[in-house]
A and B are shown apart, each in its own frame.
Chain A
Amino acid sequence: MREKPFTILVADDEENIRLLYSEELEEEGYKVIAAADGEEALTKVVELKPDLVVMDIKMPGISGVDALIKIKEIDRNLPVILCSAYSDYKQDFSTWASDAYVVKAANLDELKKAIAEVLAKRYPDS
């Protein structure tokens, strides 16, 4: 068991979504930091070095997909989970770089499950 909780960066342009994700994920025992767009997300990845990024695809400025590519350039081992309103964006090969793909839904069970799986895969020792 890890002493320090995993830090998850949630990037979404919707404030309410950020709040929802933050509360839900903190309840799950994660430390949550939030970013309102792709730009901010990239900065916080560099500064705060989160263990995992949950990112909306459709954001003003740098889109989720573009941000994903940039994050992988910074730290190709940092897991990124993409969220989208669309159910099957995964057919776009540019999303293949993400570690998981989750359709946005009010029920966050799927997201939580994906986070757990990705983390377990990335940090098998913890």
Chain B
Amino acid sequence: MKSQQKNEILSKVIEISSADSQISDRLTQIARFLCLKGVAPTLAFYLLHPRGRRLVLRIAADSGGALRIPAPACTYRLPAPEIPLCRPLGTLLPNPLEPENTPSHDQLLQRHPHGWCLPLADETRAYGIMALLNGQPFSVPSDSIRFLQVICRQITLALRSSMIQERDRLLVHQLKFLHQIGARLNADSDIESIFSQLPDSAPAFFANSLSRLHIFATDLHPATIMDFGGHDPEQQAVADRVSRSQSDRVRFLSHPLVIDRRNGNRSDNNAYREFFSHFLLHIILPLPSRNQNLGTLEFFLINTPESRELLPLDGEELELLEILAVHLAATIERTRTRDQLATASRTSLLRNRQLTLLHQIKNALLAANTVERIIRLTLGALVSREGFACPAALYIECGDNPIVGEVFYALSAAAPAAASPTENDELDHGEELARQLLTASEKLPEEARKKLIGLTLPPLETTPPRFQQALADGKPVIIPARLAFSIDSRLENLLEGQKIVIIPLAGQEKASGLIMGVADHISEDDLNYITLFTDAAGLALDNIRLYQRLQDSLASLNNAQMRLAQSEKLVALGEMATSIAHEIKNPLVSIGGFARRLHRKIPDQSREKTYSRIITKEIERLEGIVNNVLSFSRPEVEDYTPHDLNLLIRETTDLFTRELKKRQIELQLDLLPDLPPVECDGNQIKQVLINLLNNSIQALSDRKDGERGFIRIRSSSFSELESRRQAALIEIEDNGGGIQESVIHDIFNPFFTTKHEGTGLGLTICYRIILNHQGDIRLHNQIGRGVTVIITLPLKRQ
């Protein structure tokens, strides 16, 4: 071959190899060109498969241009990596294209068994073989061989750049795929749709695989298994079996697991027995998230000629799958976090509303001024939809002996939904809320209550332990309904539910009652809120008790102060009255005495007689007043001896027998037979009784309505609560119409009287005498009905 011709061929090969067309087209053109130029009768390119050590016949050409690439394409497995692809030049058909290695389907080599092989390789790797073939043996001159080596070098350059280009393209493709998947995952689309509709950029691997996403169960989420791809039920069943067989193993998987025919058959796992007739590979990838494995992403590569081309997977492809798994894990984690956040925010919103409600109820509770109001507010809050939405709740008052007292009952149906508060009318809303809560509960209707009467709380030690615990701690508990109903089965009619919340209503003191409510929808978490708010109820109860006690002490203080003022007034008045009355008494006796003498001497039927009678009468009246004053103010000389009060009463009433009969007043004596003797001044006590009987008779005589009057005298004895001293009690009751409210405070004052006759000292004297006896005298006045005077006398003086 002339050098000019060589230059021509070389420049043409350079031109073709650096053209901008597919590498296979370029190789075909080069092959044809070289045949045309008579470089070889037939020329073929056996190229290394990019995934491994095998040669594949890619291109063949002859000078006639009629050569077809035999199908199927022939593949030569390379025996071992250490054997070089090509023997030194000049060797006939270097390995692997040895005649004995020639596969039967390589018709090209069958027809052209003679030839020369030239390696397509550079310093870094081999790309294949250029084979010059012929039916008969032929020789190549040595200078032609050197020329062919230069051409091969040129082709190698083209192959290399094409390979790099191809790798770049794949890389870009993969990146694009990852980007698209990532964008979809970020765009909130669910995981399922990502696998059912793969992006166009998805590597061929996906199109030939079944895939399965298995997300492990956690405390909050159940396990999820999603299967994608494949329409063959048998394949799916096989894949499913294999997946399940590995499920225990992969829970703590931290690296991808690739099971192929070799290691799958090696494993003693029977599950893989049928597997490889359907599939080529089983890939298991962990879904890593924060040091734990959320689940697995599995691929089952279906056994097809196309997918066989994809094997073996190279590191980059596996890495792509790993990145996908990490993406998925992050998405799952993000979804979960978002769900948790949403739940938390919903819960916090609910809690916020409950807290607002709690605050308002607390205010209403603290403003409540009766125990009943507190109980009804508490029940209302339990059943109201804004509150805890109990279907029904009831309050049972615990008496001293644990017998049911008042029962209040509330149904959620009766509770109107409270309007949501706005900032402006928060105060109004609080009142409105209280009003609505109050309407939710009511005293149990009489009939229903009767059914519960006699319902007794059994002795505490026989109640269920959790019930005891609740009462002991004063904290609410939720117990199964059957335990609550074991206390009394009648509760079942009022509280229909599976769980019952028991709320002792107590402040600092022992529980005054129990609230029971249907707690089917109440969580342990809610219970904390219920505790908060029953604590508020307890506080309110304490406040009321405290307030009542304060009122009581204030009243008794006022009472004591009034009595003190009264007795001081009496002492001062007594001293003054003594001196005045005594000074008046003697002149009065003189005036009266002489007036009577005059009267006797004046002739009857004269005007003077009338005058003197008037003088005499008026002086008698004056004397009466003075006598009363003196007896009231005179320093008493008392004679305390044990007396039978009943006897004193009888002796006194005997004095009135005629009077009572005359005025048609019935006297009823209700005297305690064994009344212990009372250390007292009998005469003084008699005087008290006389004064009181006089008052009663007077009151009964003033009655105009014709109703029959009565005076009832009762005697009894008791032990005083505070001082523990024994005392006797006398009650004198009449139905004389009572004392007007406006004068009730004055009746113990000296000289106060409502009567037309009298000095106004009667009750004052009584008061003083009883006080001297260290006793007590009180009026129970019922306007329009009558007065009961209650006298307390200690059995022994101190």
Enumerate chain A interface residues (CB-CB to B < 8 A). 14, 16-17, 20, 23-24, 58, 85-88, 91-92, 103-108
Contact = CB atoms under 8 A, between A and B. Distances in A.
A105 B683 contact: no
Contacts of B597: 20, 23-24
B227 interface: no
A107 B619 CA distance: 10
Given A85-B585, A85-B630, A20 B593 contact: yes
A68 B408 CA distance: 79
B627 A87 contact: yes
B419 interface: no
Closest 7 CB pairs of A and B: A106-B592, A16-B590, A20-B593, A85-B585, A14-B586, A91-B637, A106-B593
A106 B586 contact: no
A85 B582 contact: yes
B631 A88 contact: yes
B61 to A, nearest CB: 162
A23 B472 CA distance: 91
B319 to A, nearest CB: 125
A107 B596 contact: yes
A56 to B, nearest CB: 8
Contact of B619 (A14, A16, A88, A106): A106
B596 A106 contact: yes
A21 to B, nearest CB: 8
Contact of A92 (B582, B590, B616, B637): B637
Contacts of B634: 86, 88
A44 B595 CA distance: 30
B568 interface: no
B602 to A, nearest CB: 16
B619 A85 contact: no
A100 to B, nearest CB: 17
Determine the main DSSP class of A at the interface with B: loop
Interface string B584-615: 01111111111111000000000000000000
B623 A17 contact: no
B592 A107 contact: yes
Contacts of A105: 589, 592, 623
A92 B630 CA distance: 15
Task: Give the most central of B582, B586, B591: most A CB within 10 Å.
Answer: B586
Interface of B: 581-582, 585-597, 616, 619-620, 623, 626-627, 630-631, 634, 637-639, 683
A88 B683 contact: yes
Nearest to A58: B582
Contacts of B616: 106
A16 to B, nearest CB: 4
Given A91-B637, A106-B593, 6 more contacts: A17-B593, A85-B586, A104-B589, A106-B589, A106-B595, A106-B620
Nearest to B638: A91
Contacts of A20: 589-590, 593-594, 597
Contact of B683 (A85, A91, A104): A91
A23 B620 CA distance: 20
A86 B628 CA distance: 9
A16 B595 CA distance: 12
Contacts of B638: 91
Contacts of A107: 592, 596, 620
B356 to A, nearest CB: 76
Contacts of B639: 91
Contact of A108 (B593, B619, B631): B593
B624 to A, nearest CB: 10
A88 B638 CA distance: 11
A97 to B, nearest CB: 15
A92 to B, nearest CB: 5
Contacts of B581: 85
Nearest to B585: A85
Nearest to B591: A106
Nearest to B636: A91
Nearest to B619: A106
Contacts of B585: 85, 104
Nearest to A104: B589
B652 to A, nearest CB: 16
Contacts of B596: 106-108
Given A91-B639, A105-B589, A86 B623 contact: no
B683 A17 contact: no
A107 B637 CA distance: 27
Contacts of A14: 586-587, 589-590
Nearest to A95: B637
A12 to B, nearest CB: 8
Contacts of B582: 58, 85
Task: Give the most central of B589, B620, B627, B631: most A CB within 10 Å.
Answer: B589
B584 to A, nearest CB: 9
Task: Give the most central of B595, B620, B623, B626: most A CB within 10 Å.
Answer: B623
A17 B638 CA distance: 30
B568 to A, nearest CB: 23
Contacts of A104: 585-586, 589
Contacts of A16: 586-587, 590, 594
Task: Give the most central of A88, A92, A108: most B CB within 10 Å.
Answer: A88
A92 B590 CA distance: 26
A103 B594 CA distance: 17
A106 B627 contact: no
18 contacts: A14-B586, A14-B587, A16-B590, A16-B594, A17-B586, A17-B589, A20-B594, A24-B593, A58-B582, A86-B630, A87-B630, A88-B634, A91-B637, A91-B683, A103-B627, A106-B588, A106-B616, A107-B592
Contacts of B623: 105-106
B631 A86 contact: yes
